[in-house]
Every structure is written in structure tokens, then in C-alpha cells.
Amino acid sequence: MVKDGIYYGVGLGVAGLLLSVVFHPAWGLPFFLLAAFCLYFFRDPERAIPAGDVVVSPADGKVVHMRPTPGGGVRISIFLNIFNVHVNRCPIGGRVTGVEYKTGSYLMAHKELASDENEQNTLTIDPDRPGSGPVIVKQIAGLVARRIVCYKKIGDRVEKGERFGLIKFGSRADIFLGPEWQPTIQVGEKVAGGSSILAKLRNTPAGGV
């Protein structure tokens, strides 16, 4: 579990207990329910990380957009509802070459404009594999999500599937891939962070070489 979940869960649980003791048990019930939800929301399950030259999903959720980018690449957008795991994972192993936070709007995360206009944090990873261009992940806040957390800094070494941050209470993750990557998923598919394969190197089997 993410430590934030413990803080929220314990705080709400204590508040519920105090209200139940001082006033009436019914007064504490909403706080106990919220505490249980926070413990559920901030869960952080282990994942089986695929081997080989593949890109894994940075987040749990549903693929809502796949758009071409200049230079022949692709942007894959994943929408996270409040019931998804919100821990974000590195899509590929390499070195962090960019971390940039930008303030912005709070449009509904599944909308196309959210990628450019919403509050966001951009993580750029230079992959280990020679000849592969940078892989970029955007953590995008949504209508409910108002807190983006990123644990990494420029120069950090990361492994594929490694946890790098989270977005609290509903959000979106965009990943930008160069033309050397062949998407292996479709719009509408559900994915799991760190374990679902989003793309493979062209002319390479999905499990790697």
C-alpha cells in the first residue's frame, strides 16, 4: 500500500472513532467508510513485469485514445477511474533525462484537450536499448485528481515496471513512443500498470528476442 493511504485511512478512522464515542456511532460511519475506501484506493499490488524489448503500461485503466505524433510515433492515452490502482510505473528501463511539472486546468481526464491543458507532470526516459528514442510519460490530473506525485529526478536509473509516482483520485496517463515501436493494443482495451504490453520493437516478437 502507498503510505498516503495509511495517512488518510488512519486519520479518517480516528475521526470516525472520536465522533462515535463523543456523539453517536452513526456519526462515525461515513468516516469509517471513507477510511476503507482510501485503504482500497491506495493499494499497490505486485505485478509480473514482462521481459524483452517491450513497453509496458505506465498505469492501470482503459485505453481511450491512440493518436499519431510528428515523426511517425504514437501517443497512447490511458484513463484511470477512481477504482483503478493509481500507482504509476516506468514503461521501460533506462535513465531519466527530464522531469517537468506544469500547472493547468482540470478538464475531465478522458477528454482529448486534457493532454495539453490540464495540470501534468512529464517524465522522459532514455531507454537502455541503443537506437531507441526517448519514451515520454505524462501524469495528467483530471476533474477530481488534484495531486500529482513523482518520485524520480533527472539522472535517476529506472527499471521497466518500477514505481515512479501516482495521481490521486482519478486521472490519466499519456505515453509517447517513437516510430521504432509497434503498438500491440487497441482503443477500448483495459491495461494493468507494469504488466500489460503496450508496444514492441518493430520486427520483434511481443515477448522480446
Select from 199, 181, 180 the least CA-distant residue to 189.
199
Domain extent for 134: 54-201
Please check whether residues 186 and 104 belong to one and the same domain.
Answer: yes
As a whole number, the mean pLDDT across the chain is: 85
Q: Domain for residue 184, yes or no? A: yes
Q: Is the pLDDT of residue 107 over 80?
A: no
Q: Domain for residue 206, yes or no? A: no
Residue 180 is part of a domain; what is its CATH number? 2.70.70.10
Please check whether residues 75 and 136 belong to one and the same domain.
Answer: yes
pLDDT at 139: 94
Condensed to tens digits (0 to 9), the pLDDT of residues 64-100 reads 999 999 999 999 999 998 888 889 999 999 999 999 9
Domain count, the chain: 2
Please check whether residues 66 and 126 belong to one and the same domain.
Answer: yes
pLDDT band at residue 40 using 50, 70 and 90 as cut-offs: low
Q: Domain for residue 49, yes or no? A: no
3-state SS class at 30: helix
Please check whether residues 17 and 108 belong to one and the same domain.
Answer: no
Provide mean pLDDT across the span 47-51. Answer: 93
Please check whether residues 91 and 154 belong to one and the same domain.
Answer: yes
**Pairwise CA distance, residues 197 & 183, whole Å:** 9
Instruction: Tell which wins on pLDDT, 159 or 130.
Output: 159
Provide mean pLDDT across the span 160-186. Answer: 91
Query: Contacts by 70-73 with C-beta closer than 8 Å and gap 24+?
Result: 71/178, 71/179, 72/178, 72/179, 73/133, 73/176, 73/177, 73/178, 73/179, 73/181
Instruction: Read off the C-alpha cell for 101.
Output: 511539472
Work out the burial of residue 188: count CB atoms within 10 Å of its CB; fewer than 13 is exposed, 13-18 middle, 19 or more buried: exposed
Q: To the nearest whole percent, how much of the chain has pLDDT over 90?
A: 50
pLDDT at 208: 47
Give yes or no: 57 in active site: no
Please check whether residues 147 and 175 belong to one and the same domain.
Answer: yes
Name the active-site residue from 77, 115, 171, 196.
171
pLDDT at 170: 63
| Cα-based angle 57, 172, 176 (whole degrees, multiple of 5) | 55
Helices and strands in the chain, H and E counts: 3, 14
Q: What is the DSSP letter of 111?
A: S
